[in-house]
Structure 1
Amino acid sequence: MGSRTRGMCVVLGLAVVAGTLPVLAIEGLLRGTEVMNGSARGTALVMLLVALPVLFAGMRAAERSVRGHAVAIGALAYLTYNAMLLVYATPFNVLFLVSVATLGLAFWTLVSALLDPLPLFEPGPDMPVRMIAGFMLVVVTLNALAWVGAVVPDLGEHPPAFLEGTGLTTNPIYVQDLAFWLPALAVVAVLLWRRTPAGGFLAGAGLVFWLLEAIGVAVDQVLGHAADPTSPVATLAGAWMFVVLAAVTVVPLLAWVRAAPAARTARDGSAVPRWRA
């Protein structure tokens, strides 16, 4: 990762600390429903104690490691995704500008990281390309069907049933998943299936993102349920589902890690190209 991106990561880290510690430490700061406040605390907890250390560990390793570079980009994607939720799924409060700054920094740091020279590599014969790409396409498809299946029956309804108990006017998870993240990961899966260098590298980053997200949702389901055990918005069954999803995601991620080149050079020892889709 370039010096510009590393510097932006440090500033982003400060913003994440400033935006999540008060959520965790100050009672009454959040103004949503109890279940959503609990979920927000879960999101803040994972951003601070899991995603941020993963980002800095990946950033530290990125100069010499393809895997480290992928981990850092996956962590940046996770922070961008969840900073969006702190802005749009949390009622206006005193941390609004901090949350907006975190979202802006996370997004532009991710852009900066993707503009840096990337250690792309052609997947070798030891990488189970079809297993990894197939897993990604299955998750994208099932996720999209789940969201569309929740939305379509309530088109024209006010308020829609899927917003009951959230206090929200729309669901920012559905918006960003269907508009950005699921299409992006579907493209990455297709590029991997075709054994392109871009797919070889970005599949690892996508799997890291998904693993962090599964962990994050499991934690926010637990804390949301603890805040309001009567709400269907956050349940222990939902938490266990994402624990299982996290465990399943580890399988293709480990397969990618084992087959990806450890150092930032191609398998023949030559310099890795910046971009060859």
Structure 2
Amino acid sequence: MSYYTPKGGLPAQSELLTDRAVVKEAYTVIPKDVLRDIVTSNLPGFTGTRSWIIARPIAGFATTFAQLIVEIAPGGGAERPEPEAGVEGVVFVTAGELALTLAGERHVLGAGGYAYLAAGAEWSIANEGGEPASFHWIRKAYEPADGIAAPASFVTRDQDVAPRPMPDTDGAWATTRFVDPDDLAHDMHVNIVTFQPGGVIPFAETHVMEHGLFVLEGKAVYRLNDDWVEVEAGDFMWLRAFCPQACYAGGPGPFRYLLYKDVNRQIRLT
């Protein structure tokens, strides 16, 4: 498995401003070259850590989640990473190794490591290795549902979960699902979507779910609202509800992205 991980740095003073960053009413594209040292944030409670905050709730746009790319230097980490009691999270490692202690049990997550961290879970994270470790951290306020118990935390790996082909695609479009989509305990899904060269989303998906899509590998042309946008490994697409979307993966290798969406809850009106 290959997962793009930002390296930071700054462009040379001799370079021209030719980039693909765009913010529109229905979507935002944050290309990989925007993830530079100057736009990182430090996080309270962490040591030896910097982060790129690539999504946060914004009124009138997407409101359900935050997404960070976090880099922890050797010896760094946090004893209590999550500062809010009602917030669930997903950690997905793209580079290095992280030691995750969850409810007193220690796990070592390498590239492809995935952890669902239930709201209120006790967990800590540390880089005990000799190289920087990087991961995506997706956070959402958990929304309970009457009569349904909240989900439990768990740890797995991308490499251990078989992608499920989408119907009638002959495997050209598949989704690695880390939780059962019929499990109503979960109010968000963080999956990996894979397109083989030539694979497509052949209709304009238009739905209530918000999306964060970070391209882990490959390249494609993505339809966002009324624009076709070229994207590649390291780019992030952020979609508000009902933004039409489609995709064509041109190759030469697989096109894979980490996908967030909010699911399985009635719309609150009061």
Q: TM-score, normalised by structure 2?
A: 0.28
Q: Which structure has more helix as a fraction of its residues?
A: 1
Q: Which structure has more strand as a fraction of its residues?
A: 2
Higher relative contact order (CA 8 A, sep 6+): 1
Q: TM-score, normalised by structure 1?
A: 0.28
